[in-house]
């Protein structure tokens, strides 16, 4: 598979010349992972920032009690990386694991400055993508503060209907910041209400 979905995605932000597209093709790595494979493990340095061409991943954190907390669920046309580890090249706090067989286009830390220098439009792209990510993270913080678990679940279901169908329920619970048992009870309640 080639990077067509990435090129199409990029065209929503900036317009690349054919030469720039070729340059990009030569400088990103297309890589396939199997379901269950780790793209990054807590403690390792995050060396790539990945665009998902096909498949699905979770980024999660294991806390001191051994509990898993999902920070982010990513599907096609989303990015995934432990950005703190990537920019500082320090050991990652987070894990990234594939929930399906997954194909990614990966930007490597080792040549990203070179890429940005040759094609400044890509730096613009990454800036804009990161800005959106930050805006989304801030709104998520607010939702976690101002909504009940039930409201957050309904929001999730409405906003990412496709994702809910692709992953087990206990992962949705983890993404929402609640236990799997409580999400089950919420769903039970909602079923009664209809």
Q: Which residues bind a second copy (CB under 8 A)?
A: 61, 63-64, 67, 69, 71-72, 83-84, 87, 93-94, 116, 120, 123-124, 126-128, 130-135, 137-142, 144-146, 177
Please report, to the nearest 10 degrees, the dihedral formed by the alpha carbons of residues 131, 102, 75, 174 taken in order: -100
Q: How far is the CB of 169 from DNA (least distance, A)?
A: 3
Q: Give me the residues that bind DNA (CB under 7 A), please.
A: 67, 148-150, 168-170, 177-185, 187-188
How many contiguous H segments (helices) and E segments (strands) does the chain have?
9, 8
Cβ closer to a second copy: 91 or 133? 133
Q: How far is the CB of 16 from a second copy (least distance, A)?
A: 17
Best CA proximity match to 104, nearest among 160, 159, 38: 38
3-state SS, residue 13: coil
Return all residues near 41 (Cβ < 8 A) that are at least 6 apart.
Answer: 92, 95
Cβ closer to a second copy: 98 or 122? 122
∠123-125-128 over CA atoms, to 5°? 110
Residue 149 interacts, among DNA, a second copy, none and using kind-specific CB cut-offs from 5 to 8 Å, with DNA
Q: How far is the CB of 99 from DNA (least distance, A)?
A: 10
């Amino acid at each position: 598979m080639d990077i067509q979905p990435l090129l199409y995605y990029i065209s929503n932000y900036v317009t690349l010349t054919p030469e720039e597209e070729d340059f990009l093709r030569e400088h990103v790595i297309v890589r396939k992972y199997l379901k269950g494979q780790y793209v990054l493990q807590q403690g390792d340095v995050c060396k790539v920032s990945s665009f998902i061409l096909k498949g699905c991943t979770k980024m999660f954190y294991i806390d001191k009690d051994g509990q898993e907390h999902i920070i982010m669920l990513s599907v096609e046309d989303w990015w995934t990386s432990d950005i703190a580890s990537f920019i500082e090249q320090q050991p990652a706090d987070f894990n990234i694991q594939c929930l399906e067989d997954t194909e990614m286009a990966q930007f490597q830390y080792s040549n990203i400055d070179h890429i940005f220098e040759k094609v400044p439009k890509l730096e613009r792209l990454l800036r804009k993508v990161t800005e959106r990510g930050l805006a989304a993270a801030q709104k998520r913080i607010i939702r976690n503060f101002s909504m009940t678990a039930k409201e957050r679940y309904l929001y999730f279901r409405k906003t990412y209907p496709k994702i809910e169908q692709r992953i087990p329920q206990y992962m949705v619970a983890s993404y929402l910041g609640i236990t799997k048992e409580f999400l089950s009870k919420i769903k039970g309640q909602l079923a009664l209400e209809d």
